Amino acid sequence: MHNRPHASGNSVASTRLVSRQRRPRGTEVPLGKVTVGGKRIVVIAGPCAVESRRQMFAVGRVVKKAGAHAVRGGSFKPRTSPYSFRGLGEKALRILKEVRDACGLAVVTEVVSLSELPMVLNYADVLQIGSRNMQNFALLEEVGKTGRPVLLKRGMMATIEEFLLSVEYILSQGNDKVILCERGIRTFERYTRNTLDISAVPLLKRLTHLPVIVDPSHGTGVRELVPAVSKASIAAGADGLLIEVHPNPDKALSDGFQSLAPHEFTALMKDLALIARAVGRSL
Amino acid sequence: MHNRPHASGNSVASTRLVSRQRRPRGTEVPLGKVTVGGKRIVVIAGPCAVESRRQMFAVGRVVKKAGAHAVRGGSFKPRTSPYSFRGLGEKALRILKEVRDACGLAVVTEVVSLSELPMVLNYADVLQIGSRNMQNFALLEEVGKTGRPVLLKRGMMATIEEFLLSVEYILSQGNDKVILCERGIRTFERYTRNTLDISAVPLLKRLTHLPVIVDPSHGTGVRELVPAVSKASIAAGADGLLIEVHPNPDKALSDGFQSLAPHEFTALMKDLALIARAVGRSL
Amino acid sequence: MHNRPHASGNSVASTRLVSRQRRPRGTEVPLGKVTVGGKRIVVIAGPCAVESRRQMFAVGRVVKKAGAHAVRGGSFKPRTSPYSFRGLGEKALRILKEVRDACGLAVVTEVVSLSELPMVLNYADVLQIGSRNMQNFALLEEVGKTGRPVLLKRGMMATIEEFLLSVEYILSQGNDKVILCERGIRTFERYTRNTLDISAVPLLKRLTHLPVIVDPSHGTGVRELVPAVSKASIAAGADGLLIEVHPNPDKALSDGFQSLAPHEFTALMKDLALIARAVGRSL
Amino acid sequence: MHNRPHASGNSVASTRLVSRQRRPRGTEVPLGKVTVGGKRIVVIAGPCAVESRRQMFAVGRVVKKAGAHAVRGGSFKPRTSPYSFRGLGEKALRILKEVRDACGLAVVTEVVSLSELPMVLNYADVLQIGSRNMQNFALLEEVGKTGRPVLLKRGMMATIEEFLLSVEYILSQGNDKVILCERGIRTFERYTRNTLDISAVPLLKRLTHLPVIVDPSHGTGVRELVPAVSKASIAAGADGLLIEVHPNPDKALSDGFQSLAPHEFTALMKDLALIARAVGRSL
């Protein structure tokens, strides 16, 4: 009947590399031509998985026009079932690069394991580490060594403390270009896929010097809830959003039920600009 | 190995009294001179417990000046331990009434059990049912019979579906003046007291015709996080907030660590007005 | 960012009435002609709700023959939905008393609210407080005042610490005849209705001097899992079991999917006797 | 507001390789000279981490004498913090092999990432995949290809359904020598490190044809609770146990608070033999 360890209080020890005390003004992480963590709110948008050149160009043009700064799309998909669609691999990476060049959008894509890391480095501006890999420590250290910006998603079962210790694995390799992403935690609720932890946004901003973004698509799992939660995230102080957009959500190979259609995304961007201004920022 | 029942999909059955389909334009519930559920954002503020006339007048004047519409304060406190402070009882109710008359604020206070319901009816504009009583069905039916506005808090481990069925107990007695309150659910996280479920706001607004407010004080349990989460709630579509304010939080008899000091509350109200405007509403 | 309070370590403070340190040899609570908390394992069996005299006599005869010590059955049912069957009320209580007299079984039945407590006292040997009422503090104090044995179920969202503080409400009224019941907590798992916390059994036995029983029917919500979890509970040191049995589970008005049929219960009792012997006890 | 997918009912589809319907009599997996999944209960014991030859020989002799069938010990430790002890690497593996040869115990040790898999294959009888790697799909497929017996731990916040889909990754590579291990899930409870899901044992035995063991050390995180939960696991139908034993728990480099001392383990084995007999098995 021992006490369980828990968070140590008012702040993260300043001996930790992630601690806000080590860099009170905060860190800005490059995302193509902009940075995350400054006055500007950044938006990364795109489908769960890259399915075809046609799909990605359709998305890229729409989200660029609506004001997004980067495009996302899975090339290698970690799937709960071995029988699900697992991504187009390098073909997807090449498509992403084409979209980047044609539309002027940075590319964010997930690295699933060590073996494809060198390949992904050839194409991605930002390396995403997904929530299932938040404690894949070997992978964290390797992306740390690359020096490339990293978008690290909180595990769906991870405490804030564990999330920050995973960040420490990356920082301890000399790479401080890390974007933190809240994407919802697992609870007993059934209307939603996860429960987005909105308080994680101001908490992470206080404890660390790193930028914090929110993924409202996985965080709720419900398309109709994405706009409200996106607005809430910016109001809570998030530095950006990662939003699933698909040209035809009902035909998506994965996660269509939580993806916005192009017109929904465009309308949301206008609303977000108003919220950004209300908190002294711009989109 | 039976399937577990879960939420039935896109909407609550229209046979339920709470269903949005039964009243698409929504219900406005009276709160003193204003209503909850219309264009105006309402704010209910005050300490966890009524401690003294002096304390309550100090709070009342400050929150009124800052723009709050109602004062809250516990008269009978449901406490986890029988050895904790349990409230001043009717003395507290009399103080609340004096503050109402002097400051022009509506009074919201909790009914803990059937036995003091008649007494509370003499003093309160709105009857609060706390999260521990969300499934005290006898109490729900009795407050339903009174016809008085009710503020029902979601249980800390209740699904949205269970929350809505508890609302049905009140509505089925002919009382549709119910304000729903999201106040955080229990998870494994330890930096915060509860995890505020921000997606519950747009979800409840879609499923029901009732107004929805948020309690960021219990929802986070951390004073420093209250402003960000309050702003997020309004951005997500909440109709109001229930905020703990104490003239001297560090000396509060309960919940001081999550209460705002007067100057913090005043500053927050200015920020909230900006967010309200950004979503087409006013404070 | 304050620390969250949590359990205080190796033991419950000896100033608490529930503490094992106050009565190292443990407390035995009367259940009709036997006691709970001694060498004997006790079994309380019966349907979720009393539906008819015929049903209850059928159950009573079967469970008595199989070796059960008490019969259970709901007279007033707390239901999540106001539109569900809520019990036969005093008629059910009269049936339970007849079964007791005819079969020689003690009667355990739930008290749902203060208003029917006097009536239930006329019929019940043990007052059950259900998990939704674990923090109905007014009710806890009143059953404490009666001096009647109480079976208190852990709330589905309650920590062990909160459970023990609720027990303190009863003990502080001078009534130490309290049986603790683990009945599963709410988690994200979907194959089962709740997750039975088996470690709560040895933990409660160490921290308190009170007897501990397990409800495997609600704890799993799945008939096929009840036998294994019942055996596990006795092996873990439980003093007894509360098992749902229905003469025709598929036609039960409530909880049929988790009720054992008579022949299943009879077979289980034989297996339980073997486990009881293996841990130095008898059934 | 879509329905969330959930478990599909009474059984796992027979098209899945893991389904009990594909092999009703069950699978026995080799563990050195014995098998897991037959009449015999198997016990794997040892420290969290291999710290020295002296430590491991002390443990090996004690657990062998007490009746254990295999020794465990971490060579590469996945640690939440990059600043914690991470294991002795190949030196630890060599020590484990010496203990195996000297004591006649099979060796179970964890594979943390793809890079050290070839090395671990030179030393281990059974490859353990830890709970943080339950969804490291690349690693699952690689251990599947080796054909070596695998001990797969359930993730600390994985549903049974997700656990079984991860198993499918291994089976789909032609390796059906998989031992399932329940090790506790994360909940809100604070007296214990995790909440051991005892119902997972009979549930997994019904749904799959694979052997199921329990890790009561991580499952509770509390040394004093390990004996009771071990007995419960065998009574519930588990095919074996994975127990942390350390020659001097208070000086262990990791997890000492949940490790049994040698005399505690020896006493437990005697009690387990009695429970095994009560359920028609032997130790």
For residue range C13-25, what is the model confidence (pLDDT) as tens digits?
A: 888 999 999 999 9
CA distance B3 to D5: 11
pLDDT at B10: 56
Question: Which chains does C contact via 3+ CB–CB distances below 8 A?
Answer: A, B, D
Radius of gyration, CA atoms only, chain A: 18
D273 within 8 A of C273, measured Cβ to Cβ: no
Closest CA to C175 of C64, C7, C18: C18
Burial class (CB in 10 A: 0-12, 13-18, 19+), D42: buried
- Helix (H) or strand (E) segment spanning residue D151: strand D150-153
- Helix (H) or strand (E) segment spanning residue D70: strand D70-72
Which residue from A minimizes the CA distance to C194? A188
More confident call, C224 vs C256: C224
Min Cα distance B6 → chain D (Å) is 8
**Pick from A80, A113, A169: CB nearest D138:** A113
Residues 218-277 of D with CB under 8 A from C: 219-220, 222, 224-225, 227-229, 231-237, 271, 274-275, 277
pLDDT at A233: 98
Radius of gyration, CA atoms only, chain B: 18
DSSP code string of B144-178: HHH---EEEEPPTT--HHHHHHHHHHHHTTT---E
C44 within 8 A of C69, measured Cβ to Cβ: yes
A209 within 8 A of A19, measured Cβ to Cβ: yes
**Pick from C157, C190, C225: CB nearest B186:** C157
Task: Using 50 as the pLDDT threshold, list the residues of chain D that sit under it.
Answer: 1-9
- The torsion angle over the Cα atoms of residues A134, A139, A145 and A150, rounded to 10 degrees, is -40
CA distance A254 to A91: 18
CA distance C196 to B206: 34
pLDDT tops 70 at residue C8: no
Query: With contacts defined as CB-CB under 8 Å, which chain C residues touch D157?
Result: 188
Strand partners, C78: none
Packing angle of the helix pair B226-235, B262-278 (nearest 10 deg): 20
pLDDT at C199: 98
Packing angle of the helix pair D53-66, D90-103 (nearest 10 deg): 40
CA distance A228 to A113: 34
Give Cα separations from D270 to B28, C63, D67, D282 (angstroms).
68, 33, 9, 11
pLDDT, averaged across chain C: 94
pLDDT at C6: 37
The single residue listed with the structure tokens 């995304």 is: A265
pLDDT at D189: 94
DSSP tag of B219: H
Convert the pLDDT of each residue in A98-136 to its tens digit: 999 999 999 999 999 898 999 999 999 999 999 999 999
What is the CB neighbour count within 10 angstroms for residue A127? 23
pLDDT at C4: 40
Long-range Cβ pairs for the range A97-104 (8 Å, 24+): A97/A123, A98/A53, A98/A56, A98/A57, A99/A56, A99/A57, A99/A59, A99/A60, A99/A71, A100/A32, A100/A71, A100/A125, A102/A57, A102/A60, A103/A57, A103/A60, A103/A61, A103/A64, A103/A71, A104/A32, A104/A33, A104/A64
Strand partners, C35: C30
Packing angle of the helix pair D262-278, D53-66 (nearest 10 deg): 30
D232 within 8 A of C198, measured Cβ to Cβ: yes
Given an 8 Å threshold on Cβ–Cβ distance, is C1 in contact with A207? yes
- Confidence category of residue A13, pLDDT binned at 50, 70, 90: confident
C209 within 8 A of C243, measured Cβ to Cβ: no
Residues 8-37 of B with CB under 8 A from D: 8-11
pLDDT, averaged across chain A: 94
More confident call, C86 vs A242: A242
Encode C148-175 in three state secondary structure. CCEEEECCCCCCHHHHHHHHHHHHCCCC
Phi, psi of D246 (to 5 degrees): -135, 140
Question: Taking every pair of C-alpha atoms in chain C, what is the biggest distance, in angstroms?
Answer: 61
DSSP tag of B261: P
Name the 3-class secondary structure at C46.
Answer: strand
CA distance D3 to D12: 20
Per the structure block, which two tokens stand in for D222? Answer: 């509390």
Which residues lie below 8 Å from residue D54, measured CB to CB, with a gap of 6+?
none
Percent of chain C scoring above 90 in pLDDT: 88
B154 within 8 A of B129, measured Cβ to Cβ: no
Per the structure block, which two tokens stand in for A1? Answer: 């009947």
Per the structure block, which two tokens stand in for B26? Answer: 């929504």
Which residues lie below 8 Å from residue D190, measured CB to CB, with a gap of 6+?
A4, A6, C6, C7, C159, C161
Name residue C35's amino acid. T
Which residue from D minimizes the CA distance to B207? D1
pLDDT at B12: 86
Name the 3-class secondary structure at C176.
Answer: coil
Convert the pLDDT of each residue in A170-212 to its tens digit: 999 999 999 999 999 999 999 999 999 999 999 999 999 999 9
pLDDT at A10: 56
Which residues lie below 8 Å from residue A7, measured CB to CB, with a gap of 6+?
A159, A160, A161, B190, B191, C1, C3, C4
Per the structure block, which two tokens stand in for C234? Answer: 């006795």
Chains A and D form CB pairs within 8 A to the count of: 90
Name residue C72's amino acid. R
Min Cα distance C157 → chain D (Å) is 8
pTM given for the model: 0.94
CA distance B114 to B118: 8
**Pick from A190, A235, A271: CB nearest B232:** A235
Per the structure block, which two tokens stand in for C148? Answer: 């009647």
CA distance D75 to D95: 10
pLDDT tops 70 at residue C1: no
Per the structure block, which two tokens stand in for D116? Answer: 């050290």
Q: What is the dihedral sign for C-alpha D49, D55, D56, D62? A: negative
pLDDT tops 60 at residue A3: no
Closest CA to A185 of A167, A163, A170: A163
Length of chain B: 283
Cα angle D13, D14, D20 (rounded to 5 degrees) comes to 105
Percent of chain C scoring above 70 in pLDDT: 96
CA distance C179 to C106: 14
A75-96 burial string, b = 16+ CB within 10 Å, else e? Answer: bbbbbbbbeeebbbeeebbbbb
Interface check for D203 against chain B (CB to CB < 8 A): the answer is: yes
Given an 8 Å threshold on Cβ–Cβ distance, is C189 in contact with D197? yes
pLDDT tens by residue, chain B, 283 residues: 433 433 434 578 888 999 999 999 999 999 999 999 999 999 999 999 999 999 999 999 999 999 999 999 999 988 899 999 889 999 999 999 999 999 999 999 999 989 899 999 999 999 999 999 999 999 999 999 999 999 999 999 999 999 999 999 999 999 999 999 999 999 999 999 999 999 999 999 999 999 999 999 999 999 999 999 999 999 999 999 999 999 999 988 888 899 999 999 999 999 999 999 999 999 9
Min Cα distance C40 → chain B (Å) is 32
Strand partners, B72: B108
Given an 8 Å threshold on Cβ–Cβ distance, is D1 in contact with B186? no
Interface check for D190 against chain A (CB to CB < 8 A): the answer is: yes
- H-type alpha helices, chain A: 53-66, 90-103, 117-121, 137-146, 160-171, 200-207, 216-220, 226-235, 262-278
What is the CB neighbour count within 10 angstroms for residue C117? 17
- Helix (H) or strand (E) segment spanning residue A106: strand A106-110
Interface check for C114 against chain B (CB to CB < 8 A): the answer is: yes
Strands B34-36 and D212-214 come out as: unpaired
pLDDT at C10: 56
Interface check for B85 against chain C (CB to CB < 8 A): the answer is: no
Per the structure block, which two tokens stand in for A144? Answer: 């740390």
CA distance D242 to D230: 9
User: Can you say how many angstroms the Cα of residue D87 is from the centroid of all Cα atoms in its chain?
Assistant: 18
Phi-psi region of A199 (alpha: psi -120 to 50; beta: other; left: phi over 0): alpha
